[in-house]
Chains A and B, each alone.
Chain A
Amino acid sequence: MSGKESGYLDMELLRFTTAGSVDDGKSTLIGRLLFDSKAIFEDQMEAIERASIRSGGEDVNLALLTDGLKAEREQGITIDVAYRYFATPKRKFIIADTPGHIQYTRNMVTGASTANAAIILVDARHGVLEQTRRHTYIASLLQIPHIIICVNKMDLVDYKEEVFEQIKADVEDISSKLSVKDVRYVPISALVGDNVVTRSEKMEWYDGPTLMYLLENLHIGSDLNRSDFRMPVQYVIRPQSKEYPDYRGYGGRVVSGSLNVGDTVKVLPSGFTSKVKTIDLFKDSLKTAFAPQSVSVQLEDDIDISRGDMLVKETNGHEPVIGQDIDVMLCWFNDRKMVPRGKYTLRQTTSEMRCMVKSVDYKMNINTLEKDSDDLDVGMNDIVRVKLRTTKPLFFDSYNVNRNTGSLVLIDESTNETVAAGMIV
């Protein structure tokens, strides 16, 4: 690390997603985070003021900041995932802001796929609703490492501790049935600003951190799998130049674990092993590469390796599973229903192959969290457990162990659309 990278450039990146509808005060909360961290500029504020007046509102509508598309502003709804950015001296934040209604489950899943943390808003007046259950379930399905339950609009329930404690107990009741690791609870008022960036003076009974403090201090160092080295090969780098006549580097991103020069790696699917000769990133030669770095790796031996293969380390007992029959939790994204025994293109890491849906085991009712084995018709926003058969061996880890080697998407071969996201069980 050069001198320039220490000091004020020494910031971490945290991605979080927010789920909820306008009524929960989600836009107000995002607006406040952006405003208080000075990420909203004067000309943006002016533009929002102009648009608010045009749409007939009296107050400045911060939702207009995230609802960027014409259709969204006209209909007053969020259609798509919007990405927002802000930074504090400690961290840079990427917000994937997603709409909370059930018909937008696919957007929530999309936003959740890369998130370190999820903020789930609960209106203090209404308590835990079906949608809270849905949001918590999706956060657990996508294995978001940290969940922050913000009990919002505390000002409208006289800042009563009992209200907060009741909601907390109700959410704990849900989360105990799900596989969630780290759940935090913060009583806030996004409108007034209580416990968002500054501590509320009206809730002395609450001795936990503010939302901003949590976002700045959540321990994200172990969000990625740090133990199992995996690097799907993306691109083979062969300069064939005078200077580098024999250079053969495997370009790819370390998705988990770490790799040292001299380590023995195994190549999947061939199973051959070799030692790491060099790890390069531009003109820097590295001794070690670790997730999520993008590097180029040279091996000692001349092995036939191409895109879609994977370099793994076999030192720690955990090796990817190699197989053609997989169990997957699938979230369906398309108006065209899933075709029973239908064939789709499957993308996982850098490999692509065809697959067939062999069977649907059950459909998840994401509002009641019950499994339904009778209605196996799979349409938009349905979450189902299926068995897939692939045309060639897939090497994967369970999604719970490794989000990168355990995730996949299905593509409709006639429309080219991404029709489903899958998490390998």
Chain B
Amino acid sequence: MDKYQINHLRELEAESIFVIREVAAQFENPVMLFSGGKDSIVMFHLARKAFWPAKVPFPLMHIDTGHNFPETIEYRDNLMEKTGARCIVKYVQDTIDQGKAVEETGINASRNKMQTITLLDAIEQEKFDAAMGGGRRDEEKARAKERFFSHRDEFGQWDPKNQRPELWNLFNAKKNMGEHFRVFPISNWTEMDVWQYIYMEEIELPSLYFTHKREVFQRDGVWMAKAPFMQLKEGEKLEMRDVRCRTIGDVTCTGVTLSTANNIQDIIQEVAATRVTERGGRADDKRSESAMEDRKREGYF
């Protein structure tokens, strides 16, 4: 590589910073969604880079299902304190208490779908006109067709067949009152890129991503963590294992990986060798072939 070339990670970084600055410039009241997972951590890191030495000019927002791993919440609060960023927290429990959603029942009950209602309510209440998310096109087939600037109608819905063409680096943020945009600054990153970037930039992560001992059980071939609101089915039994999370979502729908990786380099090697996608451990995607597309149409992340 010659002196005027940058590697793939630096090029992705430059693209994401460009997108985040476009959001700050083109919208009046944007917000950055933050889940405490590695993708939103990287996205927030990029936002800090985009505006340094000024502070990030928009708040973050966490949709808290109440089913988070406690380590996620602890990490989030520390990060906000360290960086001086503001994080709005909205609770799915409030949505349930207000009667806007009914808790799923049964053994695979999850609050994953309900997050959409809480999220759309929050966008409406706070009058956000753009919500940035850490979704990546390589994650899932419906996401592969997502734009950087993705238009949502007044109901927060996505119409995948009627998306605006997006060319060069020209982003069209025009909309009518009541409509909003979802923006995906790290669209072009893969899982590997995210890990390599974390390594290169020495970004701190929640401890869940590294190996630890945890009580787990197997369900449909996926290892799940023990948690107060998880019921065991007949035949499922708890075992103590060395595990780590490959993605972080709710305890109810995030599988864990048997692993002894305790540093980023080991994780990168593990990711390189693995033959299953990271969402392969996500029960929320397995509900049907178009589970992600259906949820995205409704306004999911």
Contact = CB atoms under 8 A, between A and B. Distances in A.
Contacts, number: 196
A92 interface: yes
B55 interface: yes
A283 interface: yes
B142 interface: yes
A251 B166 CA distance: 22
A251 B13 CA distance: 14
A85 interface: yes
A385 interface: no
A407 B52 contact: no
A416 B2 contact: no
B144 A409 contact: no
Interface string A274-311: 00000011110000001111101000000000010000
Q: Which of A38, A282, A350 has the most chain B CB atoms inside 10 A of its CB?
A: A282
Given A91-B8, A251-B51, A348 B25 contact: no
A81 B161 CA distance: 11
A175 to B, nearest CB: 23
A11 B52 CA distance: 27
A363 interface: no
Nearest to A54: B289
Contacts of B6: 292-293
A41 B280 contact: yes
A157 interface: no
A375 B44 CA distance: 51
A408 interface: yes
A234 B7 contact: no
Interface residues of A, number: 82
B170 interface: yes
A9 B277 contact: no
A44 interface: yes
A61 interface: no
B121 interface: no
Given A4-B200, A68-B142, A348-B170, A294 B14 contact: yes
Given A5-B200, A407-B170, A294 B8 contact: no
B41 to A, nearest CB: 15
Interface in A47-82: 47, 50-51, 65-66, 68-71, 79-82
Interface in A159-195: none
Nearest to A253: B18
Given A44-B277, A243-B53, A87 B200 contact: no
A238 B274 CA distance: 45
Interface in B1-39: 1-2, 4-15, 17-18, 21-22, 24-25
A247 B53 CA distance: 8
A71 to B, nearest CB: 6
Contact of A9 (B9, B52, B293): B9
Lowest 6 CB-CB distances: which A-B pairs, in order?
A: A68-B141, A416-B174, A239-B54, A294-B17, A113-B167, A13-B8
26 contacts: A5-B7, A13-B7, A13-B11, A41-B275, A43-B276, A65-B141, A69-B161, A80-B163, A83-B187, A85-B188, A91-B8, A92-B193, A234-B21, A234-B25, A235-B21, A238-B54, A253-B169, A281-B49, A292-B14, A292-B15, A403-B168, A407-B167, A416-B174, A416-B176, A418-B164, A418-B167
